[in-house]
Amino acid sequence: MKFLPLLWAGLWRKPTRTTLTLLSIVVAFILFGILSGIDAGFAQALEASRLDRLFTDPRFGAPMNISYADQIARVPGVAVVAPRRGMGGYYRDPKEGMGVIGIDERFFLLRPEITITKAQLATLRKTRTGAVVGVYLQNKYGWKVGDKIPLQTETPQVNGNKTWTFDIVGIVDDANYPGQAGWFLVNYAYLDEGSASGKGTIDRFLVRIKDADRAAQIGRQIDRLFANSAAPTRTSSEKSRSQAGLQFIGDVNIFTHAIVGAVFFMLLFVTGNTMLQSIRERVPEFAVLKTSGFTDNAVLWLVIAESLLLCLMAAVLGLVLAKVAIPITRPAIEDYVTLLQTGWADTLRGFGLALVVALISSLYPAWQVRRLSIVTALSRR
Amino acid sequence: MNAVRQIVAVTIIGLRAIPQRLGASLVVIVGMAGVVAVTISILSMATGFMHTIRSSGRADRVIVLSRNAQYEFASSITRENALAIADAPGLGRAADGKPIVSAEALTAILVTKKSNGLDFYMVLRGIGPEGLALRPEIKLTRGRMFRPATHELIVGKSAQSEFEGLEVGDKVSLPDGDWTVTGSFESGGSGTESELLSDSETLLSGLRANAFKSMTVMLARPDDFERFKAALSTNPALVVDTLHETDYLANQAKQLNGFLTVVAYLVGGIMGLGALFGALNTLYSAVSTRSVEIATLRVFGFGAAAILTSVLAEALLLSLLGAAIGAFAAWAAFNGNLHSAGSLVFRLTVTPALMGEGIGLACGLGLLGGLLPALRAARVPVAVALRAS
C-alpha cells in the first residue's frame, strides 16, 4: 500500500497517454457490461421457460375441442391441464395488437409466476366480464381496477358485434419479468358463450407434468391420442419452444461473445503498448530504484501493479458507465431480448478480465525491467 | 507546387519511420480492423436478411389482406372476395386473357432443423392456377411440379437444405394424410425459397377450410396500383387492405432488421470510440517521439501545413490498412454463410457497399484521431524541441 503514491506517479507520468489508454479500456468494459446484460436477458428467457410445462397446440391450425382436457389429464404423469382460448384484438390503435386469453382457474396453477391473489381470483370468478391485466398494460394505457375496456377484435359476438367490453378486476405482475407483464386474462366461459362461432374450442392446453425428464415421452403420448382425430395436436415443452423461438437471438448472442473476445484481444495491444512505451522512457528511473535497494522482483511487481491499477480503475469506470447505459439502450432492443442490469457475477467476471489483461500486457515490460542492468541503464544518459 | 512537394516529402519521411514505431502503429491497425470486422459482420446479417425479403417483392405485385390483418395468417379472403378482386381494373393478363391473380391458402407444418434438431413452423402455401405466372422467379431445379387435385407439393431449395425430411420423394404429413414432395425450386434467394408450395384448392380441402388467407395479384403496370386500390376500397362487398408486396414484406421484416441494425451500430459505435482513443494515443506518441525531427524540418523551412498533413496521412494510412484487413476478414469469414431466423433462410451478405461503409467509418475515425496530434505537431515550438535533446 505504501507504494501506491509511487505507482500513481509512474502511471500519470504522461497524462495524455494514460488518459487515452484508460478511456480505451473503459470503452471495452462498457461494451462488456452491455453485452453481459444481453446475455443475462437471453439466459433468463430460457430459464423462465420450464421443462415440466408442456404446450399442446393444434398441429395444423384447426382448433381443438375442450373435451381433450379430460383425455390429456388421464395420461400417466400429467398433473394439471389448463385449457385456454385466445382472441386477437386491439385497444384504439390497430397497429398495437393485443392477445386476450380466455382461461379458468387452472391456468394460474400452470403459471405460478403470475402474481394473482385469492381475492382477485374470487372477483374474477364472480365477474363474468372480468379481466385481469398485467402491469405493463396498466402503465401503457393508464387503466385501473373498475375500468370498462372496449376492445376491437376479429371475433364476432352472438349479436355480430366485434367490440368486446371487459371490466378490469385486478392488476397482476409477472414474477419472471417484473413490470413487463402484458397479460389480458378473461373468463373462458364468457368468451365461449359470447362468441358467435367456435363453441367449445381451445387453441392451447397447458400441461403440468410430474417429472420433467419425461417431457418428450408424455408429449408423444398426448399427441398419439388425437393423431387420427379432426384436430391432431403437437405437444412439446415450453423450454424447447423457447429454444426454437430464441434460436436466432441465440446465434447473435454467440456472435457477441466472439466480439468481446476480439475486443479484449485488442486491449492487450493497447495496454501492452502503453506499458512498453512508459517503461522505455523510465529506464533510468528504474535503475535508480534498483540502486537504492529495490530487488529485481520488486521492480517486476511494481510494473505489474501499475498495469493492474490502470486496468482495474478502467474496469470500475467502465462497469459503472455500463450500468448507466443499460437503461438507455434497453428500449431499442426490448422487442427482441430483455437487456438486464449487470449483477455481481458480471462485475466479478469483469474484474477477472481486467486482471488477465493487466497481467498479460505487463508481463513483457515487467520482465524487461527485471533484467535491467543498473550500469548500462544509467550509462545511457 | 512547392507546398505539395513539401507535403509529399515530409509524409514519406514520416511513413518510412513507421517500422520503428511498429508496436504503437499496430494499436491503430488492430483497433480499426476489429471495429470494421465486427460492424460489417453484424450488418451483413441485416443486409442478407433484407436482401431475401426485398428480392421476394416486386413493384408490380400487390397483396390483398382482410382489413387490419397485420400478416397473412391473420387474414381471410372468401371465394366471393377473391372473384371480386380478380374483376378489378388494372390487372396484368396472361396470354389467354385471364387476370394474373392467385388466391392463396396457407398452413404451417412442423419441420426439424438439421443443425440443432429444433422444431420450427414452415409455411405451406397453396397457390392458384396463375400462381406460377404471378411468380416467374420460381424455377424448378429438381423433380417435377405438383399436380392439382393430388397430394403433392414442391419445396424451396433453402428450406430443403436446412430442414429434415424435405427431399424429393419424402412425405409431409397434413390433416388429410401424407403429401409427397415431387420437386424443389429456387427463386433467386427470395423468402419463397423457405416455403413449400402446392395447389390452393387441394390444400383448402385438405385443411377442411373454406376461405383463402390472402390474394396476390400482378398489375398490368406498377402505376395501376392506385386505380386497383381505389376499385377495391369503393367496392362495398370488400373490407380489405391493399398493399404493395414490397411494403408488406418490409413491414414484416421491420422488427428483426431494426434489432440487428441497433446491435450493429451500438457495438460498432462503442468499439469505434475505443479505436478512436487508440488512434489518438498512437499518433500523440508518434508526434512526441518525432518532435526533434519535426523541429529540425521546421528549421529547414518546411511549413506547418506540410507537417500537419503528414501526420494526418499517417493516421489515414494506418486506419485504411486496418480497415481493409477487417473488411476482408469479415468477407472471408461470413459472406455467403447460411443463416436462419425461424424457418426463413438467408445468406449473410458482405456487399462492396457495406465494406466501403466500414472502411469509410474507419478512415473518419482515423482522421479524427489524427487531427489533434497533427495540430500539436504543426505547433511544435522549434527552440524548445531542439533544446530538449
| Secondary structure string (H, E, C) spanning A170-186 | EEECECCCCCCCCCEEE
- The answer to whether A266 touches B37, Cβ cutoff 8 Å, is no
Same domain, A40 and A95: no
Check whether A346 has a pLDDT greater than 80: yes
C-alpha distances (whole Å) from A34 to each of A27, A200, B45, B81, B259 are 11, 48, 20, 51, 15
Q: What pLDDT score was predicted for residue B143?
A: 94
pLDDT of residue A381: 53
Beta pairing class for B61-66 and B240-244: antiparallel
Do B24 and A277 count as a contact with CB atoms less than 8 A apart?
Answer: yes
Residue A86: list chain B partners with CB under 8 A: none
**Which domain covers residue A196, as residue numbers?**
60-231
Q: Are residues A83 and A213 in the same domain?
A: yes
Contact map slice: A 37-66 vs B, CB within 8 A: 59-62
CB proximity A329 to B under 8 Å = yes
Provide the pLDDT for residue A264: 86
Do A43 and A67 belong to one domain? Answer: no
At A339, which amino acid appears?
L
Residues A277, A218, single domain; the answer is: no
Residue A41 clears pLDDT 80, i.e. is over it: yes
Residue A358 CA neighbour count, 13 Å, CB half: 22
Query: Does A55 reside within a domain?
Result: no
Q: What is the pLDDT of residue A265?
A: 85
Nearest to B262 among A251, A273, A333 (CB): A333
Nearest to B284 among A16, A94, A234 (CB): A16
- B278 contacts A20? CB cut-off 8 A: yes
Averaged confidence pLDDT in chain A: 89
* Interface check A344 vs B, CB under 8 A: no
pLDDT confidence bin for B389, thresholds 50/70/90: low
Cβ–Cβ below 8 Å for B26 and A240 = no
The tally of domains found in chain A comes to 2
Interface of A with B in 169-228 (CB under 8 A): none
Q: For residue B34, which of B266, B268, B312, B262 has the smallest C-alpha distance?
A: B268
Are A210 and A76 in the same domain? yes
pLDDT tens figures, A184-239: 999 999 999 999 888 899 999 999 999 988 888 999 999 999 988 888 898 989 98
B264 pLDDT more than 80: yes
Q: Is A325:A30 a contact under the CB 8 Å cutoff?
A: yes
pLDDT single digits (tens) A14-28: 888 899 999 999 999
Question: In terms of domains, do A178 and A275 share one?
Answer: no
Residue B259 binned pLDDT confidence (cut-offs 50, 70, 90):
confident
pLDDT in tens, A245-275: 777 777 777 877 888 888 888 888 888 888 8
Is the predicted pLDDT of residue A6 greater than 70, yes or no?
yes
Q: Is A276 in CB contact (< 8 Å) with chain B?
A: yes
pLDDT given for residue B319 in this prediction: 93
> Does A238 fall in a domain?
no
* Domain membership flag for residue A240: no
User: Bridge-partner residues for A207, per DSSP?
Assistant: A54, A81
Both A186 and A290 in one domain: the answer is no
> Could you tell me if A67 and A108 lie in one domain?
yes
pLDDT band at B150 (very low <50, low <70, confident <90, very high): very high
C-alpha cell at A370: 527485471
Chain A residues with CB under 8 Å of B342 CB are 247-248
Would you say residue A192 lies in a domain? yes
Measured CA to CA in angstroms, residue B30 lies from A268, A360, A377, B15, B278 at distances of 10, 17, 32, 18, 10
C-alpha cell at B187: 427463386
Specify the pLDDT at position B388: 67
Computed over every residue of chain B, the mean pLDDT equals 88
Q: Check CB contact of A259 with chain B, cutoff 8 Å.
A: yes
Question: Terminus-to-terminus CA distance in chain B, angstroms?
Answer: 33
Indicate the range of A120-129, B188-197, B261-270 predicted with least confidence: B261-270
CA–CA gap between residue A284 and residue B343 (Å, rounded): 66
**Chain B residues in contact with A259 (beta carbon < 8 A):** 38, 267, 271
Question: A246-275 burial, b for 16+ CB within 10 Å, e for fewer?
Answer: bbbbbebbebbeebbebbbebbebbbbbbb
Contact B326, B358 (CB under 8 A): yes
What residues have CB less than 8 Å from A51, skipping those under 6 apart? Answer: A212, A215, A237, A238, A239
For residues A146 and A131, what is the distance between their CA atoms, to the nearest angstrom? 10
**Strand, coil or helix: what is A246?**
coil
Residue B107 burial class via C-beta count within 10 angstroms: exposed 0-12, middle 13-18, buried 19 and up? buried
Cα A285 to chain centroid, rounded: 50
Comparing CB atoms, the residue among A28, A30, A61 nearest residue B108 is A61
Q: Please name which of A211, A162, A164, A153 lies closest in space to residue A190, comparing C-alpha atoms.
A: A164
What helix, strand, coil percent values describe chain A, rounded to 5?
Answer: 55, 20, 25
Q: Is the pLDDT of residue B84 over 90?
A: yes
Could you say which of A204, A231, A258 is where a domain stops?
A231
For A245, which residue in chain B has the nearest alpha carbon?
A: B342
* Cell reading at A363: 508481463
Please tell me which of the candidates A31, A60, A95 has its beta carbon nearest to residue B107: A60
Which ipTM value was assigned to this complex? 0.78
How many contacts does A have with B, using Cβ atoms within 8 A?
Answer: 129
- Whose cell is 403440468? That residue is A208
Cβ–Cβ below 8 Å for A266 and B274: yes
Determine contact: A93 vs chain B, CB below 8 A: no
User: What per-residue confidence (pLDDT) applies to A350?
Assistant: 92
Closest CA to B102 of B83, B84, B128, B126: B128
Dig out the grid coordinates for B76 from the structure. Answer: 381471410
pLDDT of residue B111: 87
Assigned domain for A261 exists: yes
Question: Chain centroid to CA A52: how far?
Answer: 21
**pLDDT score of A1:** 61
Using one digit for the tens of pLDDT, what is the confidence trace for A307-339?
Answer: 999 999 999 999 999 999 988 888 877 777 778
Q: Smallest CA–CA separation between B306 and chain A, in Å?
A: 24
Q: Which of A184, A199, A231 is the last residue of a domain?
A: A231
* H or E stretch covering B43: helix B22-55
The Cα A200–Cα A53 span in angstroms is 23
Asked if B118 and A236 come within 8 Å (Cβ–Cβ), the reply is: no
Q: Is residue A205 part of a domain?
A: yes
Are residues A87 and A188 both part of a single domain? yes
pLDDT in tens, B289-298: 888 888 888 8
Q: State whether residue B31 sits within 8 Å of chain A by CB.
A: yes
Cβ contacts of B277 within 8 Å, gap of 6 or more: A20, A21, A23, A24, A27, B369
- Report the gap between the CA of B37 and the closest CA in chain A (Å): 10
Q: Do B259 and A35 lie within an 8 Å CB cutoff?
A: no
Pick from A277, A324, A339 the residue to mutate for testing the B interface (most B CBs within 10 Å). A277
- The β-bridge partners of B113 are B163
| Dihedral angle computed from the Cα positions of residues B272, B278, B280 and B281, in that order, rounded to the nearest 10 degrees | 170
Nearest CA in chain A to B39: A259
Q: Average pLDDT for residues A124-134, to the nearest whole number?
A: 94
Kindly give, in sequence order, each residue whose CB lies less than 8 Å from that of residue A70, ignoring residues fewer than 6 positions away.
none
A163 touching B (Cβ < 8 Å)? no
Residue A86: CB atoms within 10 Å: 16
Distance from CA of A117 to the nearest CA of B (A): 34
Q: Which pLDDT belongs to residue B216?
A: 95
Instruction: Please give the C-alpha separations between residue A257 and each of A37, A39, A260, A261, in angstroms, as whole numbers.
Output: 12, 9, 5, 6
Please judge whether A274 and B341 are an interchain contact, meaning their C-beta atoms are less than 8 angstroms apart.
no
A204 and A103 share one domain? yes
CB contact under 8 A, B38 and A262: yes
Instruction: Please check whether residue A179 lies inside any domain of the structure.
Output: yes
Q: Indicate if the pLDDT at residue B232 is higher than 70.
A: yes
Q: Are residues A82 and A26 in the same domain?
A: no
Residue at which a domain ends, from A231, A266, A285 = A231
Q: What is the mean pLDDT of residues A104-108?
A: 93
Q: Given pLDDT bands bounded at 50, 70 and 90, which one contains residue B1? A: low
Check CB contact under 8 Å for B255 and A273: no
Q: What is the pLDDT, as a whole number, of residue A135?
A: 92
Same domain, A212 and A81: yes
Partner A contacted by B239 (CB < 8 A): no
What residues pair up with A174 in beta bridges, in sequence order? A114
Across A111-125, A172-186, B334-348, the highest mean pLDDT is recorded for A111-125
- Find all residues with CB under 8 Å of A330, minimum gap 6, and list them: A338, A339
Residue A53 inside a domain? The answer is no
pLDDT tier for residue B325 given thresholds of 50, 70 and 90: very high
Say yes or no: A256 contacts chain B, CB-CB below 8 A.
yes
